[in-house]
Amino acid sequence: MTDQRDERLGAALRRLEVPDHGPDFHPRLMARLEQEAARHPGSPRRPRWTGPYMLTAVAAAVVVVALATTTILRGDGDLQPGPEPELITASVVRAKVAGALASLKTLQGEVTVECAIFTGTCSPTDDGGRTTMSSSFVTTAAGDERITGLGSTDDAAFSSVTRTYRQITSTGGGVQGQEITNVAAGPPDAFRRSVLRREVASVVRAFLTDSSDVPVTDTVEEGRDAWRLVTPVVVNKLAGPGGSGDQLEVVVDRQTGFPLRVTESLQGRFLQEIRLSNLVVDEPVDPSTFELAFPPGVRVFHQDVGFQRVTLDQAAAIVGYRPVLPTDLPAGFELTEVTAAAQGGQTGSEGMNPPAAGVVSVAYRRGFDQIVVSTRKTGDASPCGPRSAVSCWGDPMSSGEGETDVPEPFLVGGGALAGAQAELVVSARGTPHVWTVDDRLVVTVSGDATGDELRRLAESFAPR
Amino acid sequence: MDLVLPFPLPAWVLRIAVGLGLLRASALPQASGDVDRLVLARARRGDHRAFAQIVDHYDHRLRGLAYRLLGDRDRMDDVLQEAYVKAFRSMPRFKGDSALGTWLYRIVYNACIDDLRARKATVPLDDRLDVADPRPDPADVAIGRRDLAAALDALPPDQKAAVLLVDAYGLDYAEAAHALGVAAGTIGSRLSRARATLRTRLGPQR
């Protein structure tokens, strides 16, 4: 094919009038960009650790607690020494993590992050030095979150009751607020809830699933006998030179099972570290903890994501098809939330999947564990054209072009999705998931499940 | 010594020139188009002021695309707000396997199509090939801006975007295909139909 261009038509088209922006366009855009930058990993302003990124760090740390804790703290948060095992392996740790996550109800504490790179969680100093930041946090099995910066005005909360996320951020131009309402039950439609604890929990779970042969060695950390787990991770090539680690190190107190630190490094060079302290487990939490009020005069940006909490019958009326859901759930999981929207957000790498229509997002929970099932119409008028709508879709859960998820393709062997080509993705930097597409629906199953469990889930779908 | 171009040339022209040995490869636009690499790097690290420079650089053409697709300045502004914020949010993951401008065109085009769908506008996306049209090329007739604007407005969004990106903004078929999320062959068919429709609408006014 030759790239024939009609130059004269093009010249005429270029002479057509194009209106300027309205007078408030640029101020509005700059304010929004500044707000985004405040949450951006590489914000050039003062180092900060706030909002969803702060949630990510806390989430990672929280899960590491569960990962490593063989003895759960109760009530006053004092450490309760547990029996010292003769031998422990990563797979043994994984089994204990599963039990801890499944039974946890609430968790409170403080988390400290130290970083030497732009991590998505914090930023180094302007001269490239390390930054250390701390925050208190409270989180529940129902999904509530409250993250409050220590020594700053930054604050963020998500209420599972109102399904509203609120955030207060200090920027160079003052204090700004953000409110996101009617969020979906979970990914890939979770919008800014996508960084919540459960998804990061899945990352850690994936890390463990992938690392059953990771050796556990003895070490001494700050004078205490400890276990040290080291595992390689895939470098995010788009993070820039030195911007992503090739190794994670988890150090766990041997006597108590308490995590002392988690460190990410690249070729032995320190990148970032997370430390936990003052943990309190399963202490009752006042529901008002998760209601964040905006100070008077603060400019608040609102976003209504549009997902309604409904019954399955109501969901069918909204999306125009009868929902299909898995029937073979791992033991202990219960259906806790059904949300539906006539229009969903964009999904996939760089958000380049076709527009989502008729989205059902369903959550199953077991303690802090969560599995989310989403279905959306494949559509017949995608940018790829009606004959190729299926091929227009990519993995809705893609972690971005910089990541190197390697999917494992398989043919769904049973249930309502039987015969569909599916992909299983379990990697240390993303949420474990299965996705598939046919000429009717795009389906994702993601969360705290092993690869085998995800396969069984995909093969057990039935109309509901 | 590399040739310094006094004016921008379409990427396809530069590639041909390089292929013929008239230009060195270094004269080709970088992955970021002709945005300074340092500005791009800063934007990818979250510097919103650097991203604002990028917006300034591409805004006129992106505005043109959005306005022609949506037909209303306020909607254009609303959609571009969302598209620019989304692009800024996605900057750290910009892969660089397409020009930055092409990547932005794609984000803006998708945002416009989303807006049209949300407003239940008709967005036909028929990929049927048209036969050659014997009527004169629309550019050969005396085209009044108002007539051309009206004729362009009557095109379906997918054809409108194709003719703007290729004929007006100089993208080659592959770049336009990447921007619009279709195969290069589809760009050819859309251009063929768009030009035929413009001939039909503008031809009688010769």
- Residue of A8, A18, A43 lying closest to B63 (CB–CB): A18
Predicted local distance difference test score (pLDDT) of residue A18: 85
Using an 8 Å CB-CB cutoff, list chain B residues near A238. 92-95
Rg (CA), chain A: 23
Judge if A115 and A245 occupy the same domain.
Answer: yes
B153 has a chain A CB within 8 A of its CB: no
What is each CA distance from A165 to A39, A122, A200, A309, in whole angstroms? 15, 21, 17, 15
Is position A288 within any domain? no
Q: How far apart are CA B48 and CA B54, in angstroms?
A: 10
- In the listed set A230, A247, A281, which residue is the last one of a domain according to the structure? A281
Of B174, B186, B181, which Cα lies nearest the Cα of B12? B174
Q: For residue A85, give the DSSP letter.
A: -
Q: Do B149 and A16 touch (CB under 8 A)?
A: yes
Q: What is the pLDDT of residues A269-326, one digit of tens each?
A: 888 887 777 777 788 999 999 999 999 988 888 888 889 999 999 999 999 999 999 9
Phi and psi angles of residue A364, each rounded to the nearest 5 degrees, phi first:
-115, 135
Q: Where are the beta strands (DSSP E) in A296-354?
A: 299-304, 308-309, 324-326, 334-343
Regions in chain A scoring below 70 on pLDDT: 1-3, 39-101, 118-122, 171-173, 190-214, 222, 224-225, 233-243, 252-260, 349-351, 380-389, 399-405, 427-430
Is position A148 within any domain? yes
Q: Count each helix (H run) and each strand (E run) in chain B, helices first.
A: 9, 0
Structure tokens at A320: 């125009």
Judge if A379 and A346 occupy the same domain.
Answer: yes
Judge if A315 and A227 occupy the same domain.
Answer: no
Q: How far apart are CA B39 and CA B114, in angstroms?
A: 29
Structure tokens at A173: 């131009």
DSSP string, A431-447: --EEEEE-SSEEEEEEE
Q: How far apart are CA A367 and CA A97, in angstroms?
A: 12
Asked whether residue B187 carries a pLDDT value surpassing 80, the answer given is yes
Query: What's the angle, vertex CA A250, arms to CA A246 and CA A255, rounded to 5?
Result: 165
Most A CBs within 10 A among B14, B42, B48, hence the mutation to make, goes to B48
Q: What is the pLDDT of residues B62-102, one digit of tens each?
A: 999 999 999 888 899 999 999 999 888 888 777 666 788 88
Predicted local distance difference test score (pLDDT) of residue B168: 87
Predicted local distance difference test score (pLDDT) of residue A78: 33
Predicted local distance difference test score (pLDDT) of residue A432: 83
B21-54 burial: b if 16+ Cβ within 10 Å, else e: eebeeeeebebbbebeeebbebbbbbbbebbbeb
Predicted local distance difference test score (pLDDT) of residue A194: 37
Q: Do A30 and B48 touch (CB under 8 A)?
A: yes
The distance of A31 to chain B (nearest Cα, Å) reads 10
Hey, how many other C-beta atoms are within 10 angstroms of the C-beta on A217?
9
- The pTM score is 0.56
Judge if A317 and A396 occupy the same domain.
Answer: yes
Judge if A150 and A241 occupy the same domain.
Answer: yes
- In the listed set A223, A247, A281, which residue is the last one of a domain according to the structure? A281
Query: What's the angle, vertex CA B56, arms to CA B54 and CA B58, rounded to 5?
Result: 70
Predicted local distance difference test score (pLDDT) of residue A1: 45
Predicted local distance difference test score (pLDDT) of residue A307: 93
Q: What is the pLDDT of residues A342-395, one digit of tens each?
A: 988 778 766 677 778 899 999 999 887 889 999 999 886 555 555 566 777 888
Complex confidence, ipTM: 0.72
Asked whether residue B58 carries a pLDDT value surpassing 90, the answer given is no
The distance of A156 to chain B (nearest Cα, Å) reads 19
Query: A197-210 vs A90-103: helix axis angle to the nearest 10?
Result: 160
Task: Print the SS3 string covering A173-207.
Answer: CEEEEEEEECCCCCCCCCHHHHHCHHHHHHHHHHH
Predicted local distance difference test score (pLDDT) of residue A399: 58
Predicted local distance difference test score (pLDDT) of residue A242: 63
Q: How far apart are CA A271 and CA A356, in angstroms?
A: 37
Residue pair B91/A118 in contact by the 8 Å Cβ criterion: no
CA atoms within 13 A on the CB side of A171: 25
Q: Do A381 and B145 touch (CB under 8 A)?
A: no
Predicted local distance difference test score (pLDDT) of residue B47: 83
Structure tokens at A150: 């220590």
Q: For residue A350, give the DSSP letter.
A: G
Predicted local distance difference test score (pLDDT) of residue B165: 92
Judge if A202 and A238 occupy the same domain.
Answer: yes
- Residue of A18, A28, A239 lying closest to B64 (CB–CB): A18
- In the listed set A281, A315, A332, which residue is the last one of a domain according to the structure? A281
Judge if A328 and A396 occupy the same domain.
Answer: yes
The distance of B7 to chain A (nearest Cα, Å) reads 16
Judge if A260 and A371 occupy the same domain.
Answer: no
Is position A219 within any domain? yes
Is position A393 within any domain? yes
Is position A412 within any domain? yes
Structure tokens at A453: 């469990």
Q: How far apart are CA A46 and CA A35, in angstroms?
A: 14
Judge if A138 and A252 occupy the same domain.
Answer: yes
- Residue of B64, B76, B143 lying closest to A12 (CB–CB): B143
Is position A39 within any domain? no
Q: What is the pLDDT of residues B9-40, one digit of tens each?
A: 333 343 343 343 333 333 333 333 456 667 77
Residue pair B158/B125 in contact by the 8 Å Cβ criterion: yes
Is position A23 within any domain? no
Q: How far apart are CA B116 and CA B70, in angstroms?
A: 7
Q: What is the pLDDT of residues A249-280, one digit of tens each?
A: 877 666 555 566 778 888 888 888 877 777 77
- Residue of B45, B74, B114 lying closest to A355 (CB–CB): B114
What is each CA distance from B139 to A213, B65, B201, B206, in whole angstroms? 69, 20, 12, 11
Q: How far apart are CA A293 and CA A177, in angstroms?
A: 10
Total domain count, chain A = 2
Q: What is the dihedral of CA A206, A212, A216, A222, to 10 degrees?
A: 10
Judge if A328 and A399 occupy the same domain.
Answer: yes
Predicted local distance difference test score (pLDDT) of residue B55: 87
Q: What percent of chain B stands above pLDDT 70?
A: 66
Rg (CA), chain B: 18
Q: How far apart are CA A409 and CA A179, in angstroms?
A: 39
Judge if A237 and A357 occupy the same domain.
Answer: no
Summary mean pLDDT of chain B: 70
Is position A207 within any domain? yes
Judge if A206 and A250 occupy the same domain.
Answer: yes
Residue pair A80/A258 in contact by the 8 Å Cβ criterion: no
B143 has a chain A CB within 8 A of its CB: yes
Of A273, A239, A144, which Cα lies nearest the Cα of A429? A239
Largest CA distance in chain B: 55
Q: How far apart are CA B99 and CA B97, in angstroms?
A: 7
Q: How far apart are CA A91 and CA A127, in angstroms?
A: 41
Of A383, A397, A461, which Cα lies nearest the Cα of A432? A397
Q: What is the CATH number of the domain that holds A451?
A: 3.30.200.100
- Domain hosting A126: range is 104-281
Q: What is the CATH number of the domain that holds A154?
A: 2.50.20
Phi and psi angles of residue A361, each rounded to the nearest 5 degrees, phi first:
-125, 120
